[in-house]
Each structure stands twice: as C-alpha cells, then as structure tokens.
Amino acid sequence: MNYSFAVVLILVNQCGAEKTLNEIFGHSQLFEGTWTGSYAALCFSCGYFAYDQWDMLHYGLYSGWIPSILVHHLILLVCFTLALYRNVTINYLILTLICELHSIFLHVRKVRRMAGVLDATSKIVKAEWMLSWFTFFLARLGSHVLITAKIIRDANKFGKGVELPLALSGMAGMNLLNVFLGLDLMKAYKRERKHPQDHRE
C-alpha cells in the first residue's frame, strides 16, 4: 500500500490555501498543527503497518536475525501511535510517508521478477531502475535527511516532553535503515547488470 500520494494531496491542499512555505513547514504547524486529512491518513497508515507487521510475524514473511522491514514497521508504529494518542507531530510524521513513493518501485521490481522479466538490458528494466534510484534519493533518503535537519534545527522548540528524543531516535533509525536499503539496492543492481538473466533475488 502507498501513502505518498495522500501526502502529496495534503501538501497540494496546503499550498492551495495560499500559505507561505514558512507557514506550512513552520515548527508550530508541524508540531502542533494538523493539516486537513493528515490525522485520518496517519490513523489509516498506522493500522496498515500494524496489520502488515502482524502478517509478517505470523507467517514468517521475513529473513535474517534482525529484519529491516520489521524494524522499520516497529519504529513507525511506536512514533505513530504516540503521536496519534497525544495529537502532536502529526504533520511531521505525515511528511515521513513521502518515502513510500520509493516503495512503489520496490514492489514493481518484485512483481517484474515474479513475472519473469529479468533482462537487465531491456528498456523496461532500465526505466524501472532509473525511477527506483531517483525516488530513493529524492523521496526516501532526501526527505528523511531534511526532516531530521528540521528537527535538529528546531530542537529547542520541542519543550521537555518525550517528543524530541523520540523524533531524533526515530529519524536516526529510519536514516540508518535507508543506508542499509541503499546498499542492498546497489548489490541487487550490480547483480542484475552482471547476470542479466539471473533468477535469484
């Protein structure tokens, strides 16, 4: 499931309200405010991640000692649940979902390989990889780095609650997972380039 389009619609709605970037992305708006549709979108995504986490655990749909996908979902569930309960940082967390735009191409790659389209020299595969790398650096890596920088910049405005340490640790975890994902993508990319017809993941 993908929430990046919902985030885009929410942001377009904010821009359509003739607000400046400072008004849209100011600390008070990101920390205390709730853009139209953002609370519902966060509730929906929280429910989805909770179900997806349970589904993967129940059916063993993961690999490795510490599966990054389970860590990813755990970080989101902790942050999302607390934010929804306290009704703060809703807009901050909505922005983190921009990264899901890249998830589209992760799923496309999976489906493409399941369908037997494995020729790394084909235009379709090249286009898929180009879009995957573009959205990885822009929507996933870039957006999370910018959000982290914004949190650090506005750290003194958070107050003495649990929100700042949770936000910093959560974003640190997400950025670390992004690095690991990037390394995995690079390995997969090199493998496909080296063995264009290889059926292995």
The answer to whether residue 199 is domain-embedded is: no
Among candidates 156, 37, 28, which has minimal Cα distance to 92?
Answer: 28
The answer to whether residue 126 is domain-embedded is: yes
The answer to whether residue 28 is domain-embedded is: yes
Write the DSSP string, the chain. ---HHHHHHHHHHHHHTT--HHHHHSHHHHHT---TTHHHHHHHHHHHHHHHHHHHHHHT---SSS-HHHHHHHHHHHHHHHHHHHT-SHHHHHHHGGGHHHHHHHHHHHHHHHTT---TTSHHHHHHHHHHHHHIIIIIIIHHHHHHHHHHHTGGGS-SSSHHHHHHHHHHHHHHHHHHHHHHHHHHHHHHHHSTT----
pLDDT of residue 198: 57
The answer to whether residue 200 is domain-embedded is: no
Among candidates 85, 132, 86, 126, which has minimal Cα distance to 105?
Answer: 132
Residues of the chain falling short of pLDDT 50? 199, 201
**For residue 64, what are its two tokens?**
């490795």
Which tens digit of pLDDT belongs to each residue from 13-70?
887 765 788 888 999 999 999 999 999 999 999 999 999 999 999 999 888 888 999 9
pLDDT of residue 121: 87
Dihedral, CA of residue 151, residue 98, residue 76 and residue 182, to nearest 10 = -90
**For residue 107, what are its two tokens?**
């799923």
The answer to whether residue 201 is domain-embedded is: no
The answer to whether residue 166 is domain-embedded is: yes
What is the distance in angstroms between the CA of the first residue and the CA of the last residue of the chain? 22
Number of separate domains in the chain: 1
pTM for this entry: 0.89
CA-CA-CA-CA torsion sign (176, 182, 183, 188)? positive
90 lies in which domain range? 4-194
* Contact indicator for 90, 39 with CB cutoff of 8 Å: yes
CA-CA-CA-CA torsion sign (155, 158, 161, 165)? negative
Q: Which residue type, as a one-letter code, is found at position 135? A: T
**For residue 90, what are its two tokens?**
């809703």
pLDDT of residue 194: 86
